Amino acid sequence: MTASILSMEAVSLSFKDKRVLDNLTFSIPRGQTFGFLGPSGAGKTTTIKLLTRQLVKDAGRISLLGRPIEKASPADYERIGILSDTSALYERMSIADNLRFYARTRGVSHGRVPYLLERMGLADSGKTLIKNCSKGMRQRAALAAALVHQPELLFLDEPTSGLDPAARAEVHKMLGELKERGTTVFITTHDMAEADAVCDRVAILNDGAIAACDAPDDLKLRYARNRVVIRTRTRGAFEAAKDAAGAALVDELIRAGELVSIHSDEPNLEEVFLEVTGREF
Amino acid sequence: MRKLGALLDKDARDLLKNPTMVVAVIMPVALTLFYRFSFRDALAAGESDPAMRLLVDGIFLVIALCMSVGVVGATVLVYGIAEEKEKHTLRTLMLANVSAGQVALAKGLVSLAAILVVAVACFALTGVSWQFFGGFIAFTAVGSAPIILLGLVLGLAARDQMTAGLYSMPILVISLVPLFTTFAPEAEFVAGLTPLGGVCDLLLLMMEGNLVSADALAPVAVTLAWTVAGALAFKLLYRKLAQDN
């Protein structure tokens, strides 16, 4: 079994009288991309802040890189990369200078800067000052800064928010490459399609509690409806149950030469979310 | 050390690109020039009267010291840290495993360097004999310590650059008090108790050749007291303010 690189056990947090995280339990094996899903205000960013020691839990246990988070050393944090919801680069410095600065603070060579600029689609914009960059360019530059030291564990808080579809696809491709290299990624998003595309496992957060946690395909299967959609030549499309009566109906349609197609009716991740939480995004 | 080196490099370069900082650096130099022009009659009289010359030189050096430390120290530090907070770069740095202490140390050292560079320029413009240069720079460096420590505390306490404008005012005003007593000797006692009052008195004693005397005890005590007070304020408030950030 792969060792867990990050875990939470019965973690709770309250702000004054309001409980914002309630009994969170999950663990992430090394090399996995773990999605933390939920609508705005569900507690995703708060969870990242707990995991990166920006906040302190009220109860429970958090393990980071194999040791209690309270005992994590500065050297441990050198193995982590973080793109937070407020990550910002220096406005009077160029994109490339910002990346070189972060490479220097991390004690790594500048050699990766051109590669990161290329991968983030910023190769032609390296000399552009951050203050002259669009929101999408800033986001990609901040992501590159979080990756400059090749972290083992990467926290990404809504990394594709504000990106156009092409840039979003580029980031997804980058996440795929990180996975191939064995980087563990903890990603928050409210984009279910994104989670489906890049995550090995997802946890669905609702009102501060985990409502479901599994691989996207397993969740879809678990919440799959017990029916198929049948398309016919003259009778249109209709649903049939996955039982003996449904099988008899299909058999009859085949014999009558009516059957055009049969489709399973699995929910997508967004529909699973609605099913699990009973709310909309 | 590598983090401190990167921060020092970044802060030093930013000092030259930030319009607020550039104005803060130019202002003491420009005001020193202005005062030299304003005192041109006294300077002319001093050509034949050594006592008058010493008095005018003393006033010039007090102006240069207070302007350099007060204006540059207050602005570079308080605005610099407040801007990092306002634009979330301080949080980003801390998430990149850079401590608030390293950020504060880098900004403090860059401020000290900026103060000394401005002080050298101001000294050159005063036309005062270079025999006083070493002492002037030494007292400027010593006087910078409490101002830098207080500036770091106020910078961390400021939420944004607008608040920084408000918070830097007390440092600026208190730093310039000794300068105004050159025109209002009755306020000399109060001026002597301000963070730069001690080093200004020591500077004047040095110019008179009385630095090693009983008269130097009170200014040394005042300077030490402000430095200790600044260090204590920083030590007590730094952790809380850094955590709040």
* pLDDT value at residue A39: 81
Q: Is the model's pLDDT at A169 over the cut of 90?
A: no
How far, in Å, CA of B175 to CA of B154, rounded?
15
The answer to whether the Cβ–Cβ distance between A92 and B18 falls below 8 Å is yes
Q: Is the model's pLDDT at B44 over the cut of 80?
A: no
* pLDDT value at residue A279: 65
pLDDT confidence band for B183 (50 / 70 / 90)? low
Which token pair is B119? Answer: 């002080």
Q: What are residue B85's phi and psi, to 5 degrees?
A: -70, -45
B chain contacts of residue A143, beta-carbon cutoff 8 Å: none
How far, in Å, CA of A221 to CA of A219, rounded?
5
Of the listed ranges A181-195, B33-47, B90-104, B137-151, the least confidently predicted one is B33-47
How far, in Å, CA of B105 to CA of B240, rounded?
17
Q: Is the model's pLDDT at B17 over the cut of 80?
A: yes
Contact predicate B28/B71, CB 8 Å: yes
Highest mean pLDDT, choosing among B16-20, B46-50, B159-163, B225-229:
B225-229
Residues A180-230 have pLDDT tens digits of 989 999 999 888 889 998 999 999 998 889 988 999 989 888 888 778 889
The model carries a pTM of 0.81
Handedness of CA A133, A138, A144, A149 (dihedral sign): positive
Instruction: Compute CA A81 distance to the chain's CA centroid, rounded to the nearest angstrom.
Output: 15
The answer to whether the Cβ–Cβ distance between B97 and A87 falls below 8 Å is no
Residues A85-143 have pLDDT tens digits of 777 889 999 999 999 999 998 888 888 899 999 988 888 999 999 999 988 888 889 99
The answer to whether the Cβ–Cβ distance between A92 and B14 falls below 8 Å is yes
Q: Is B38 in the A-facing interface, judged by CB distances under 8 Å?
A: no
The answer to whether the Cβ–Cβ distance between B96 and A82 falls below 8 Å is yes
How far, in Å, CA of A82 to CA of B22, rounded?
33
Chain B closest CA to A62's CA: distance in Å?
A: 18
Rounded average pLDDT over B4-20: 90
How far, in Å, CA of A142 to CA of A160, rounded?
11
The answer to whether the Cβ–Cβ distance between B6 and A145 falls below 8 Å is no
Minimum-distance CB partner of A77 among B13, B93, B97: B97
Q: Is the model's pLDDT at A11 over the cut of 50?
A: yes
Q: Is B33 in the A-facing interface, judged by CB distances under 8 Å?
A: no
Burial B128-141 (b: 16+ CB within 10 A, else e): beeebeebbeebbe
Rounded average pLDDT over B39-49: 72
Q: Is the model's pLDDT at B50 over the cut of 90?
A: no
Residues A46-70 have pLDDT tens digits of 998 898 888 888 899 999 998 999 9
- pLDDT mean across residues, chain B: 86
The answer to whether the Cβ–Cβ distance between B95 and A54 falls below 8 Å is yes
pLDDT confidence band for A1 (50 / 70 / 90)? very low
Concatenated DSSP letters of A136-165: HHHHHHHHHHHHTT--SEEEEESTTTT--H
User: Complex ipTM, two decimals?
Assistant: 0.81
Highest mean pLDDT, choosing among A275-279, B6-10, B50-54, B90-94:
B6-10
Residue for token pair 């020591």: B202
* pLDDT value at residue A232: 92
Q: Is A62 in the B-facing interface, judged by CB distances under 8 Å?
A: no
Concatenated DSSP letters of chain A: -PPEEEEEEEEEEEETTEEEEEEEEEEEETT-EEEEE--TTSSHHHHHHHHTTSS--SEEEEEETTEEGGG--HHHHTTEEEE-TT----TTSBHHHHHHHHHHHHT--TTHHHHHHHHTT-GGGTTSBGGGS-HHHHHHHHHHHHHTT--SEEEEESTTTT--HHHHHHHHHHHHHHHHTT-EEEEEES-HHHHHHH-SEEEEEETTEEEEEE-HHHHHHHT--SEEEEEESSS-EEEEESSHHHHHHHHHHHHTT-EEEEEE----HHHHHHHHHS---
N- to C-terminal Cα separation, chain A: 35
How far, in Å, CA of A39 to CA of A49, rounded?
17
* pLDDT value at residue A203: 94
Q: Is B90 in the A-facing interface, judged by CB distances under 8 Å?
A: no
The answer to whether the Cβ–Cβ distance between A89 and B97 falls below 8 Å is no
